[in-house]
Amino acid sequence: MTKPQTTRKKRANGVESRQRILDAAVEIAGERGYEGTSIAAVSAACGLPASSIYWHFKDKDDLIAAVIERSFDTWLAAFELPGEETGTPLERVTAVAGNVAKSLVDAPDFLRLGLMLALERRPVEPRGRTVFLQVRDIASAKIAEMAETLVPGLDKESVRILTAYAVAGADGLFVQREINGDALDLVTMFELHAQLVFEAATRMATRGEA
Amino acid sequence: MTKPQTTRKKRANGVESRQRILDAAVEIAGERGYEGTSIAAVSAACGLPASSIYWHFKDKDDLIAAVIERSFDTWLAAFELPGEETGTPLERVTAVAGNVAKSLVDAPDFLRLGLMLALERRPVEPRGRTVFLQVRDIASAKIAEMAETLVPGLDKESVRILTAYAVAGADGLFVQREINGDALDLVTMFELHAQLVFEAATRMATRGEA
Amino acid sequence: MTKPQTTRKKRANGVESRQRILDAAVEIAGERGYEGTSIAAVSAACGLPASSIYWHFKDKDDLIAAVIERSFDTWLAAFELPGEETGTPLERVTAVAGNVAKSLVDAPDFLRLGLMLALERRPVEPRGRTVFLQVRDIASAKIAEMAETLVPGLDKESVRILTAYAVAGADGLFVQREINGDALDLVTMFELHAQLVFEAATRMATRGEA
Amino acid sequence: MTKPQTTRKKRANGVESRQRILDAAVEIAGERGYEGTSIAAVSAACGLPASSIYWHFKDKDDLIAAVIERSFDTWLAAFELPGEETGTPLERVTAVAGNVAKSLVDAPDFLRLGLMLALERRPVEPRGRTVFLQVRDIASAKIAEMAETLVPGLDKESVRILTAYAVAGADGLFVQREINGDALDLVTMFELHAQLVFEAATRMATRGEA
DNA sequence: TATGAATGAGACTTCATTCAT
DNA sequence: AATGAATGAAGTCTCATTCAT
């Protein structure tokens, strides 16, 4: 009665183990990149033996890809244009920019890893890289849609350029924060960015009309 | 002709060997990053045995740092404000932006490696990272100086924000090119960036005066 | 017969592997010392790949320390004063000396390695050295205890000197045998040593009383 | 006139370079043993490039042997029986023991290295080991001679045993000092050692006569 | 649902040594 | 009388991965 079955607590819980592995992996991979993330390090960080990691994930590539995938939805949410909100277009753009800024602060591991993967050119492309670039494309599409919605009259090419510029600015500001820490207020910078992009868009739309 | 076939096999030539090693290293490290750059790979690429690399460089860290250092001056030249040139401030800013864009296209290995190093958070910071960040600070200072010269009346804080934004944009556009290749014209994007930053600067200066 | 040919190739058996590694290591390290013991040599001698050695031992230092530790108890047994035995104190001391002599002949690897480690002054002290010196201190304590038991009336300082002298003689005789082989009968030498130390002890005790 | 020939100080001085190399080698080899002494370490310690070491010495073995050889005479002097000195035999023996004790304190590197070489059993015996054992044999012969001179009537076998015991004690006391430092006064211990050996010798001689 | 043990490949680095100058 | 440069071999250790249990 006092000790019914010896094993009680340790009833193998696959889901929890998987989470622990991913938690460890996201942290390490976010700091050290693909090559720098060794299975042994993940094992040490999550407390499970290396062989257990291979029970949950096919191989290292699969693990890294899963890390990217798991952060996917959470992060992408920041790019939603809040439906039917009041305010001028500029105000709405600025609000989204603030959300994005906050998302970068909240999910830095995900993005740092993603950017590292994106920059690397290794012989066989890691699946995680592909996944990250897809997420990026989705984010870009949302930005493009936002531009078309809030600044009517933009031609395709202008949208393409503005979207690219908007994404580049976001990337660059994220990099800056990773390097300089909190020396600069990210939200302020993003609002400046949003404003400049919005003005450029407006001008392009006007010019297109003329 | 002057020296017929005096030295047949290996003439010890330290300077040339060092260059060959650096040439190989810059290419590999620029593509694969710090961890991805194995001494064996560099050895294979430059034709010298691994142990010879250690004659020229204390260790891998030293090699990577040397790679960064060597690209330093070349790359930094792009940031000079062409002295006493004709044209409006905007035209001059735009010209510099074009130069920078070209420098990014010309020295992508240096920058890709640097950015990767900058993003990584490894337990012991590679010396190459430190060096790269120093180069970056110098570039930032030049941009700040340029802003103060071409747009008088900017207060310190505005200069700081504008400089940060300018650098971030450059980083982001570089990342974009690395990911998307030539889908977007980098020079065009940089000119747009320069223009937007210039307008923001002008506005800030005017507001400060008022 | 009971288990016909169930396990064909490699049945994972950690305990046995560990022993095999230690067996190989004790022999090599006992002959060649710390630096002279390469993991590759141990690997060749025990049949397991080098990487398997690292499964069982953190690093080379850990392996050497384990070698010392394993021989510990076996060897220390020789120093027990046989309880309540008949005979004069001198006879009893001589008997112990004989045991010690035999132990030196039986466990020469352990002691040779230990002495080599003890003599070396490397920048970071190997753990094996620490362990060996601890074993030595225990042996010294037993000798001191023996002296106090068999030769009453010795003051602290005399015990200290006699113990040191007894240990030194044992070390020296061991070294001699390692160098000259069996040219000299170790048991005879140890009995002489025991006798001389005993006489010196008796004299010191008497002098102290007077 | 002011700067006659550019190179003046650095006129290659073979003898001095050789000394510098040996000075560095004796220290390192005395601390780390044969395998632990790398040419690179000696090079760093003496300031000359590795290739210069090979100009002065055929190979590493030759260098270590030279280290042993250089300390040879200095050290051996301690074993001279001071000719025709006054005092009882015991007093004279004690005086020599004191000299030997001092010599161990003065030339510890030489002896530590020698003992390490003596203990190691490597596939090809280093020449330094051979040389050291020869020095040892000479020292033994001197001790034997001393015994025969100061304690007449000893038979060959007794001399052999006593000499061996005397040397063993010396080795052991040296080892002790290396391990425990100055916790014990070496001269005192050596005097005790000399006295005990002398008494044993006297007794053996008397017994032989009877 | 795990995991202890094993393993070949390859990582970085040092080794003793040579050779042309 | 040296030395800058090179080099194959070997050093310690980590890697991603597998497999029997």
- The pLDDT tens digits for C6-59 are 333 456 688 999 999 999 999 999 999 999 999 999 999 999 999 999 999 999
pLDDT at C172 over 70: yes
- For position C38, what pLDDT does the model report? 97
- Mean pLDDT in residue range D35-64: 97
- Give yes or no for residue B7 having a pLDDT over 50: no
Across chain D, mean pLDDT equals 89
Tell me the CA–C1' distance in angstroms for C43 and F10: 14
Mutation pick from B113, B156, B163, B179 vs chain A, by most beta carbons of A within 10 Å, is B179
Nucleotide nearest to C17 (CA to C1'): E5
What pLDDT shows up at residue B209? 62
Q: Could you tell me which residues of chain C have a Cβ less than 8 Å from any Cβ in chain D?
A: 31-36, 112, 115-116, 118-122, 133, 136, 160-161, 164-165, 167-173, 175-176, 178-180, 184, 188-189, 192-193, 196-197, 199-200
Please name the amino acid found at residue B160: R
- Structure confidence at residue C73 (pLDDT): 76
Instruction: Spell out which residues of chain C touch residue D167, defining contact as CB-CB under 8 Å.
Output: 172, 176
User: Which range among B170-179, C75-84, D110-119, D126-135 shows the weakest confidence by mean pLDDT?
Assistant: C75-84
A chain contacts of residue B197, beta-carbon cutoff 8 Å: 196
A181 burial (CB, 10 Å; 0-12 / 13-18 / 19+) is exposed
Q: Do B116 and A121 touch (CB under 8 A)?
A: no
Confidence label for B177 from pLDDT (cuts 50, 70 and 90): very high
pLDDT of residue A86: 76
Average pLDDT over chain A reads 89
The pLDDT assigned to B106 comes to 87
Chains C and B lie in contact, requiring 3 or more CB pairs less than 8 Å apart: no
Considering only the beta carbons, identify the residue of B120, B170, B196 that sits closest to A36: B120
Residue D135 CA from chain centroid, whole number: 8
Residue B164, Cβ neighbours under 10 Å: how many?
Answer: 22
- Portion of chain C with pLDDT greater than 90, in percent: 68
- Residue range A187-196: mean pLDDT, rounded: 95
**8 Å CB contact of B168 and A172:** yes
- B69 DSSP 8-state letter: H
Closest residue by Cα to residue C200 from C170, C167, C163: C163
Chain A nearest-CA distance from B104, in A, is 14
Give the Cα separation of A75 and A174 in Å (integer): 14
Q: How far is the CA of A116 from the C1' of F14 (A)?
A: 23
Closest CA to D210 of D148, D155, D130: D155
To the nearest 10 degrees (0 to 180), the angle between helices B89-106 and B108-119 is 90
How would you class D170 by CB atoms within 10 Å of its CB: exposed for 0-12, middle for 13-18, buried for 19 or more?
Answer: buried
- Reported confidence tier of residue A9, pLDDT bands at 50, 70, 90: very low
For the stretch A159-186, pLDDT in tens is 999 999 999 999 999 999 999 998 889 9
Q: How much is the CA Rg of chain C, to the nearest whole Å?
A: 21
Q: Which of A77-86, A107-116, B66-75, D109-118 has the lowest mean pLDDT?
A: A77-86
Q: What pLDDT, in 10s, does the model give residues B10-37?
A: 566 889 999 999 999 999 999 999 999 9
Judging contacts by C-beta atoms under 8 Å, the chain C residues touching residue D184 are 160-161, 164
Chain A adjacent subunits, 3+ CB pairs under 8 A: B
Better-predicted residue by pLDDT, B42 or A184 = B42
Reduced to 3 states (helix: H, G, I; strand: E, B; else coil), residue D155 is coil
Q: Is C112 a residue whose pLDDT tops 80?
A: yes
- CB atoms D176 and C193 under 8 Å: no
Contact in structure between A113 and A30 (CB atoms under 8 Å): yes
Confidence band for D2, pLDDT divided at 50, 70 and 90 = very low
Q: Concatenate the DSSP letters of all residues of D90-109 into one string.
A: HHHHHHHHHHHHHHHHH-HH
CA–CA separation, A103 and B155 (whole Å): 30
Q: Residue B18: which residues within 8 A CB-CB, separation 6 or more? A: B56
- Which residues in chain A are contacts of B120 at CB distance < 8 A? 31-33, 36, 116
Sign of CA dihedral B28, B31, B34, B40: negative
> Could you tell me the two tokens for B196?
């937007």
Residues D38, D70: Cα–Cα separation, whole Å: 19
Is the pLDDT confidence value at B6 over 50? Answer: no
Average pLDDT over residues C135-149: 92
Q: CB count, 10 Å around CB of B155? A: 11
Residue D153: how many other CB atoms lie within 10 Å:
14
- The residue-averaged pLDDT of D17-32 equals 96
Residue (of B33, B168, B38) closest to B113 by Cα position: B33
Of A165, A184, A196, the CB nearest to B200: A196
Residue D198 is predicted with a pLDDT of 94
Instruction: Name the least confident of A119-128, C2-11, C114-123.
Output: C2-11
Q: Counting Cβ atoms within 10 Å, is residue C13 exposed (0-12), middle (13-18) or buried (19+)?
A: exposed
Instruction: Evaluate if residue C5 carries a pLDDT over 80.
Output: no
Min Cα–Cα distance to chain B from A86, Å = 26
* C174: Cα within 13 Å, side-chain hemisphere: 30
Distance, angstroms, CA D187 to C1' F5?
52
Reduced to 3 states, what is the DSSP secondary structure of residue A26?
Answer: helix
Burial of B8: CB neighbours in 10 Å, binned 0-12, 13-18, 19+: exposed
Closest nucleotide C1' to the C-alpha of D58 = E17
CA atoms lying within 13 Å on the CB side of residue D113:
33
Under the banding of pLDDT at 50, 70 and 90, the label for residue A37 is very high
CB C58 within 8 A of CB C69: no
pLDDT at C7: 35
Do residue C31 and residue D196 have CB atoms under 8 angstroms apart? no
Question: Does C200 sit within 8 Å of D200, measured CB to CB?
Answer: no
- Provide, as residue numbers in chain A, all residues whose Cβ is less than 8 Å from the Cβ of B173: 165, 168, 172
Band the pLDDT of C77: cuts 50, 70, 90: confident
Would the pLDDT of C1 be above 60? Answer: no
Residue corresponding to tokens 């503005």: A162
**Which residue among A118, A133, A200 places its CB closest to the CB of B192?**
A200
Give the DSSP letter of residue D195. Answer: H
Q: What is the pLDDT of residue C4?
A: 41
* Closest residue in chain B to residue A204, using alpha carbons only: B192
Q: What is the pLDDT of residue B58?
A: 97
Q: Which among B159, B105, B113 has a CA at the least distance from the CA of B136?
A: B113
pLDDT (mean) for A77-89 = 74
Q: What's the CA gap between B44 and B134, in Å, rounded?
A: 31
Tell me, in Å, how far CA of C38 is from C1' of E10? 18
pLDDT of residue D81: 64
Residue A158 has pLDDT above 90, yes or no: yes
Q: Give buried/exposed letters for D57-92 (b at 16+ CB in 10 A, else e).
A: beebbbbbbbbbbbbeeebeebbebeeeeeeeeeeb
The more confidently predicted of residues D104 and A7 is D104
Contact B175, A165 (CB under 8 A): no
Find the mean pLDDT for residues B143-168. 94
- Cβ distance B168 to A178 less than 8 Å, yes or no, reads no
pLDDT band per the 50, 70, 90 thresholds, residue A1: very low
What local confidence, expressed as pLDDT, does residue A24 receive? 97
Mean local confidence (pLDDT), A94-110: 90
User: Which residues have C-beta within 8 Å of that of residue D141, sequence separation ≥ 6?
Assistant: none
pLDDT tops 70 at residue D6: no
* Token representation of residue D166: 């005397």
Give tens-digit pLDDT for B80-113: 766 666 788 888 889 889 988 998 888 888 999 9
Gyration radius (Cα) of chain D, Å: 21
pLDDT for the residue numbered C83? 61
For residues B152-176, average pLDDT: 95
Mean pLDDT to the nearest integer, C144-171: 94
Chain D's closest residue to C108, CA to CA, is D119
Of A161, A171, A189, the CB nearest to B175: A171
Among D116, D169, D170, the residue with its CB nearest the CB of C116 is D116
Provide the pLDDT confidence category of residue B75 given band limits of 50, 70 and 90.
Answer: confident
Contact list in B for residue A36 (CB cut-off 8 A) is 34-35, 120, 122
- Residue B33 contacts residue B61 (beta carbons within 8 Å): no
pLDDT interval class at A156 (50, 70, 90): very high
CA–CA–CA angle D4, D8, D13 (5° rounding) = 160
The residue ranking higher by pLDDT, D95 or C40, is C40
- Rounded CA separation D78/D139 (Å): 9
> Strand F: which positions are within 7 A of a protein CB?
1-21
Interface of A with B (CB under 8 A): 30-36, 112, 115-116, 118-122, 133, 136, 160-161, 164-165, 167-173, 175-176, 178-179, 184, 188-189, 192-193, 196-197, 199-200
pLDDT at residue A209, as a whole number: 63
pLDDT of res. C156: 93
Query: What is the model's pLDDT at position A2?
Result: 42
Q: Is the full-model pTM beyond 0.85?
A: yes
Looking at residue D107, what is its pLDDT?
87
Which chains border B (3 or more CB–CB pairs < 8 Å)? A
pLDDT attached to residue B195: 95
* Integer angstrom CA distances of residue A188 from A99, A139, A185: 12, 21, 5
Residue A154 to residue C15: CA distance in whole angstroms: 73
pLDDT attached to residue D4? 45
| CB within 8 Å of A7: residues ≥ 6 apart | none
